[in-house]
Amino acid sequence: MRLENKVAVVTGAASGMGKAIAILYAKEGAKVVVSDINLEAANQTVEEIKSNGGKAIAVMANVSKEEDIKNLIDTAVHIFGTLDILVNNAGIMDNFEPAGDIEDEKWERIFAINTTSVMRATRKVLPIFLEKQSGVIINVASAGGLQGARAGAAYTASKHAVVGFTKNTGFMYAEEGIRCNAIAPGGVETNIGSSMSGINEFGMGRIQAGLGINPRVGKPVEIANIALFLASDESSFVNGTVITGDAGWTAY
């Protein structure tokens, strides 16, 4: 029970990696706040956790809205008394658009969900963590946050920003008992593709060669295992860095 008596918030936890993280955290003893824009699906994750003897609640949150993030964290503290772990997992893809084809509205939406939400949620939990002199923040970045052509320009830029924010936050609060790390998944079996429509042919054509060298697609639980390590005391000396989970894809 590596997370016994811990309280964790996981965004985008109705499916994919977020769901796997929430279920594993609960299995390891954490009380989990399952957050997603899809409340019905979030409740299904909660029911699965409860059926296995875990504790969880569902909170609807559109992470692009600051009021939803504030309500999410406030609800977690109101119900469970405190907060120990924040997992910023919610995210969307672009359509592989290169810079010349980006539309302002899509750029702003991708950054609002993938990047600004990470800052706002972190900002909201920091007073709680600072008072306790303890807390863990885990941001789900991407192989696209480390390399230049695993997605379109907007998604790539948004995830690079998450990596930089993670490193800065980890260092800034390192002496306050707070750790902040990121996970950079490669290709993983999730429904993130549902956020894509109208794939850019030029952009897809340029990244196609890189897709061909991907050793394999991962399972959500494989990313959840990394998130468990980062949330636990086993990673007490790991801070301000990125752990890549991609079967070696970015090693090429």
Give residue 34's region: left, alpha or beta (phi > 0; psi -120 to 50).
beta
Three-state SS string across 179-229, please? Answer: EEEEEEECCECCCHHHHCCCCCHHHHHHHHHHHCCCCCCECHHHHHHHHHH
Catalytic residue positions, numbered: 155
Please give the Cα distance from 111 to 158 (Å, whole number).
6
Burial of 187 (0-12, 13-18, 19+ CB in 10 A): middle
Taking the C-alpha atoms of 47, 224, 66 and 154 in order, what is their torsion angle to the nearest 10 degrees? -130
Residue 61 · residue 72 · CB < 8 Å: yes
What sign for the dihedral angle of Cα 171, 18, 144, 223?
Answer: positive
CA–CA gap between residue 171 and residue 78 (Å, rounded): 29
Q: What do you get for the CA distance between the two ends of the chain, in Å?
A: 37
What residue ranges in the chain does DSSP mark as E strands? Answer: 7-10, 31-36, 55-60, 85-88, 135-140, 178-185, 242-245
